[in-house]
Amino acid sequence: MSGSARIVENAVCLGCGCACDDIAVVVDGGRITEARNACPLGLRWFGDGALPGAVLGGRSAAVEEVIGEIADILRSARAPLVYLAPDLTSEAQRASVAIADQLHAFIDGVTSATASEGILAAQRRGRAGATLGEIRNRADLLVFWAVDPALGYPRFQSRYAPDPAGVHVPNGRADRTVIAVDVGSQRGPNDADVRIQMTAEEESLFCASLRGCLAGRTFGGAPILARVTELATRLNRAKYAVIVTDGESASPTAAPSMRASSLIALTQALNATTRGSLCTLRAGGNRNGADTVLSWQTGFPMAVDFARGAPAYTPEDATLSRLARGAFDAVLLIGATMSLPDTLTGALRGVRTIAIGPRASESAVDASIRIDTGVASIHESGIAFRTDDIPLSLRAVLPTPRDTASLLKALGSAIAAKGAVA
């Protein structure tokens, strides 16, 4: 480390939904040279912090002129889409919602493509949740349901549970029991104390039988009864049981809607005999922030249609289905396009698209105008939300090539200056 290097303490990593806020970032020569405490996923997410600062595709390289050009394109569109990709601050997400409102556009994000089933199940049934701090301090039994955090959320186990000591579990891992529920090829942690295995076809009946067993009723038949009884007994004996699942899972071997609804119902049943919660892990880039901002601005977390001048909720008819039938004639894509599902990238072909976000100039998305901006928590300060919907303050560690929220506010002003949308 050279004498000119500086260290930014308590930086927030948005590499996954855990949003670890204890990262010490070393900056030397205008580049990130080290991210202390970061896991391999976090190290890849931070990288060296280098970004292009290009403006491509407009009639001018001057951002002010390109903003006016974008405003003309969006105002003339019959049915525009505003789409939220990851790596945005909540301030940028809020400015995006304002633009969608101005344009009477449809606004959505990656949530509808990767995590909608769990959200819809929670809306239908309610859910018993908890903060990660509550889990760390209280949970004495953890059931990792078809998810191994070491693969997609590497520091979950060391920062929250089961490893660290908590107020009611002072000996950390020694005071906790870890159960891995393997569903087909989806396995729980390798170091679990107890492992329960089932096929994807058995999962629905297993969950229903487990709920019945918690309530003192036995059904389900001999093939699964012993496994159900073992898990139910351990859950009932726990002081605070937590079921951990992957909210981003899109397994071809298990219907996400069935699993999400079943685990929510199971956690509710668990609270009749002991205390428990459901922890749903989410991917990074402040995806929870997009859901939260949309909810407080419109009342809905995704798939919001402003076409009638007021927000309408259409989760059954989200972006992919609308793109498939050619419902949009212009798309404003905001955020890190590298993190978009391949299905969406393919569906955008043939639709006039404007990309604003980190590395937009290098994106594989077919966009007619591209403007590079910074990454939340690396180049841009603001707010982001953790997987448990706790807001965290972001501290930029490098200067931004262009601030996303400020650019979007300028675009909103340019749209307003041209008059109200009919």
Please list the pLDDT of the chain residue by residue as tens digits (422 residues): 666 899 999 999 999 999 999 999 999 999 999 999 999 999 999 999 999 999 999 888 899 999 999 999 999 999 999 999 999 999 999 999 999 999 999 999 999 999 999 999 999 999 999 999 999 999 999 999 999 999 999 999 999 999 999 999 999 999 999 999 999 999 999 999 999 999 999 999 999 999 999 988 876 666 788 899 999 999 999 999 999 999 996 544 444 568 999 999 999 999 998 999 999 999 999 999 999 999 999 999 999 999 999 999 999 999 999 999 999 999 999 999 998 988 999 999 999 999 999 999 999 999 999 999 999 999 999 999 999 999 999 999 999 999 999 999 999 999 999 776 66
Largest CA distance in the chain: 72
Secondary structure (DSSP) of 119-151: HHHHHHH------HHHHHHH-SEEEEES--HHH
pLDDT of residue 253: 41
Look at residues 34, 41, 92, 18 and name the one whose alpha carbon lies nearest to residue 358.
92
What angle, rounded to 10 degrees, do the helices at 404-417 and 63-76 form? 60
pLDDT of residue 360: 96
Is domain 116-281 given the CATH code 3.40.228.10 in the classification?
Answer: yes
pLDDT of residue 3: 66
- Which structure tokens are listed for 137? 């301090």
pLDDT of residue 10: 97
In Å, what is the CA distance from 312 to each residue of 98, 200, 318, 374? 15, 35, 12, 31
Are 205 and 163 within 8 A, CB to CB? no
**Full-model pTM:** 0.94
pLDDT of residue 394: 98
Are 119 and 282 within 8 A, CB to CB? no
Are 297 and 97 within 8 A, CB to CB? yes
Domain 52-114+285-376+398-417 has what CATH class?
Answer: alpha beta
pLDDT of residue 234: 96
Every domain of the chain and the residues it spans: 52-114+285-376+398-417, 116-281
